[in-house]
Chains A and B, each alone.
Chain A
Amino acid sequence: MPHSQYPSDHAQVGMQVNSGADGVEVVQPPSIVTRKLGPGAVLPMRLDPRVLQRMERAIEKMADSYEKSLKTEIRQMLLSHDEWQAGKQEAIHAIYALAHDIRGLAGTFSRPVTGRISNALCQYLEALPNLDAADGAVVRLHVDAMFAAAMDAQEPSEEVAKATLAGLERLVTRTLEHCRPAADPAHG
């Protein structure tokens, strides 16, 4: 019969050390799963399809309000772009913050193309020595593409999305080749 060698010490940490008949030591490490989920719980937890359906319904319930929020955010990006071009330097930071939010959420709410274009804009801005070095036309084309993708009830096809993203990527590559590092390398 296996027996516990160190009951007093290992009982504190939920660790069991047993010696089998063949002398091999069998160690059961302390279980966070047991502590948090109760005895008998195992990992990975079984993925219950009913739970998954509930989660998908929860997203659907939020979809309408997200649609409105997304359109508002893209309009705000256009306004911020105008302000930035008019000399308000901090407006480019607002554009980045909005793009960052959209790249994280749009895909969850059935706006993957908008999310991918937004991600492309973020990656362009993150590649710059600082946000003030951003090119106005490059930023505007990304925001216009997001506007076009998000304003219709249905996003453009995958073919159109790929062509759009490829065009934006070529533009970004050419622009970055000509972008010289600024005196202050800190990101904005």
Chain B
Amino acid sequence: MSSANPIDKLSILIADDSETVRRLLASLLAALGAGRVFIANNGSEALTTFFRYCPDIIITDAAMAPIDGYELVDTVRTHPESPDPNVPVIMLSALSGDAHEARAEQMGVSILLSKPLVPEAFYKAISEALASAERRAWLEEAALKIADPSPLPDDKSPMPASRSRMLH
């Protein structure tokens, strides 16, 4: 049986340069019953927290300085020492348009969520981000197998081999 409130098992990192947004997100996550919430004022602080605590989900703004949300996600996904390259990332932004969406997708954002924030959409985004991260991990696993199709001993299966960097 699943937990009555599975979110109470999650640790979540918020990165936003607006104090009001940080307070709002923290309040909503408290209402959701999130287990642990980390708060960062910008992308730089968020990366420090991510590498130290490896949260289960990242919720980030797009436009921040000195490191913006796109660079944050890119580092999380591609840094060789990233503790979880497949961590679900929700990008929350008032920006719109194809360029923003394309860049977010290119960097590996799991879910784009538009401001203004609506509680129901926020709740669903957390669920969808987890599902998206699962698909991402699975596709990467398959891609790695295609790139390196050497079979395991007695392996007659086309399934991808394990890569420890993807799972913990």
Contacts and interface: CB of A to CB of B under 8 A. Distances in A.
A36 B10 contact: yes
Given A37-B6, A38-B2, A107-B115, A32 B86 contact: yes
A58 B118 CA distance: 12
A45 B116 contact: no
B27 to A, nearest CB: 4
Contacts, number: 151
A69 B23 CA distance: 13
B102 to A, nearest CB: 16
A66 B21 CA distance: 10
Contact of B157 (A17, A43, A51, A103): A17
Interface stretch (A6-14, A143-151, A168-176): A6-14
B39 interface: no
Contacts of B56: 36
Interface string A44-56: 1101100110111
Interface of A is mostly: helix
B120 A62 contact: no
B94 A100 contact: yes
Q: How large is the interface on B (under 10, 10 to 19, 20 to 34, 35 or more residues)?
A: 35 or more
Contact of A100 (B5, B6, B9, B63): B63
Contacts of B167: 12-14, 30, 35
A55 B76 CA distance: 29
B125 to A, nearest CB: 10
Interface residues of A, number: 52
Given A47-B120, A51-B123, A40 B159 contact: no
Interface of B: 1-3, 5-7, 9-10, 18, 20-21, 23-24, 27-28, 30-33, 56, 63, 86, 88, 93-94, 115-120, 122-124, 126-128, 130-131, 133-134, 137-138, 141, 152, 154-155, 157, 159, 161-164, 166-168
Interface of A: 5-6, 9-10, 12-15, 17, 25, 27, 29-33, 35-38, 40-45, 47-48, 51-52, 54-59, 61-62, 66, 69, 100-101, 103-108, 112, 115, 119, 122
12 contacts: A9-B152, A12-B162, A32-B86, A37-B3, A38-B2, A43-B130, A47-B123, A51-B5, A55-B31, A55-B122, A100-B63, A108-B115
